[in-house]
Amino acid sequence: MPASGSFGFGDVKAARLNDLNRLGAVVLKTTTKMAKKGNPQPQIVSFKEGIMNSVGLTNPGVDKVVEHKLPQLRTHYPNLPIIASLAGASISDYCVVAEKLDNSELVDALEVNVSCPNVAAGGMQFGVDPLVIQKLTSEIKKRVAVPVYVKLTPNVTDIIECAQAAKDGGAEGLTMINTLYGLRIDPQTRKPVLGNKFGGWSGPSLKPTAIRMICQVVHQVDLPIIGVGGISNAQDVIEMYLAGASAVQIGSAQFNDPAACWHILDELEPEMDRLNIESLSKLINEVKEGF
Ligand code: DOR
């Protein structure tokens, strides 16, 4: 599935050019209570080894998403599972947004974003404190009926604690991982490349961190994991399953190329044949038993 932020609300070029029915699901851009204009430009700068972003959760606000964006997507693609991502500046904000999105006619699951590094309130500060993760997850779970995934941040020293907190709060699953908090400086201008200076780092160089964290969590916390972080080809997908993911999201690669998910899907079966892999789901169990 395209990761949150790489696919807008489905009203993007990638959706016009490709067959969305081949995807496992789509994850929409994170939605907040009120509309957000986002951070100063430049918000996104690509390098050969990854992407720096400080978008700042640009979105039209939950009411517009529920009234327009979601019904449009559902009408065009009735069989496509939709995961709505959400964030808030306080626990009660998150709950308001979650309650509004909790309509199984429109969404199939929620992804609670506790890991955006680019907003002063309503991002990573929720995801670095296990007690807050647990409290937030349980408050949301009290109010919604659709399954809840929590998207974790890599900007912590103990990822297992954070994953366990999401489970204790009642999450049905985890999305791992969001971007790494970073800074890139342009040697020519001698200034940070992003308008907001600091930002989230993603792309192939993030993959070993994602693989390590997923592998640690899958052995300790009994929850399904959607793997995300630096996947750009079929081998990366297989590596994510070997680490313990049972589904994957494509972020930076999809951002760079609107057909990335579909190229990876095309490559996947031949690559599985080449490596004698019968089914991806068997890989997850093999790793759990033999690690
Ligand atoms: O790196 C990120 N950028 N992660 C998020 O969760 C949100 C996004 C943004 O909008 O800044």
pLDDT reported for residue 288: 75
Q: pLDDT tens for residues 20-57?
A: 999 999 999 999 999 999 999 999 999 999 999 999 99
Q: pLDDT tens for residues 215-232?
A: 999 999 999 999 999 999
Q: How confident is the model at residue 119 (pLDDT cuts 50, 70, 90)?
A: very high
Q: Flag whether pLDDT at 122 surpasses 90.
A: no
Instruction: Find tokens 């939605």 and name the residue.
Output: 31
| ipTM tops the 0.90 cut | yes
Average pLDDT over residues 117-124: 87
Average pLDDT over residues 94-109: 97
Which of 27, 28, 30 has the most ligand 1 atoms within 8 A of CB, as the residue to mutate? 30
Q: Give me ligand 1 centre to Cα 291, in Å.
A: 33
Out of 116, 162, 215, 261, pick the active-site residue: 116
Which of 176, 178, 198, 228 has the most ligand 1 atoms within 8 A of CB, as the residue to mutate? 178
Residue whose Cα lies nearest atom 10 of ligand 1: it is 57
CA of 151, closest atom in ligand 1:
6
List residues bridging with 44 in a β-sheet. 53
Single-letter code of the amino acid located at 145: A
CA of 179, closest atom in ligand 1:
1
CA of 178, closest atom in ligand 1:
4
Q: Flag whether pLDDT at 178 surpasses 80.
A: yes
Q: Flag whether pLDDT at 16 surpasses 90.
A: no
Superfamily of domain 13-38+56-176+217-228+235-290 in the CATH hierarchy: Aldolase class I (3.20.20.70)
- Percent of the chain residues past pLDDT 90, beyond the cut: 92
pLDDT reported for residue 202: 98
Q: How far is CA 27 from CA 134, 203, 205, 265, 269, in A?
A: 23, 18, 22, 17, 23
Q: Flag whether pLDDT at 289 surpasses 80.
A: no
- Percent of the chain residues past pLDDT 70, beyond the cut: 100
Q: Judge if the upstream peptide bond of residue 147 is cis by omega within 30 degrees of 0.
A: no
Q: Give me ligand 1 centre to Cα 101, in Å.
A: 19
Q: pLDDT tens for residues 223-269?
A: 999 999 999 999 999 999 999 999 999 999 999 999 999 999 999 99
Question: Any catalytic annotation for residue 116?
Answer: yes
Structural domain spans, the chain = 13-38+56-176+217-228+235-290
Average pLDDT over residues 206-221: 96
pLDDT reported for residue 123: 83
Q: Give me ligand 1 centre to Cα 30, in Å.
A: 8
Average pLDDT over residues 186-204: 97
Which of 179, 196, 198 has the most ligand 1 atoms within 8 A of CB, as the residue to mutate? 179
Q: pLDDT tens for residues 60-73?
A: 999 999 999 999 99
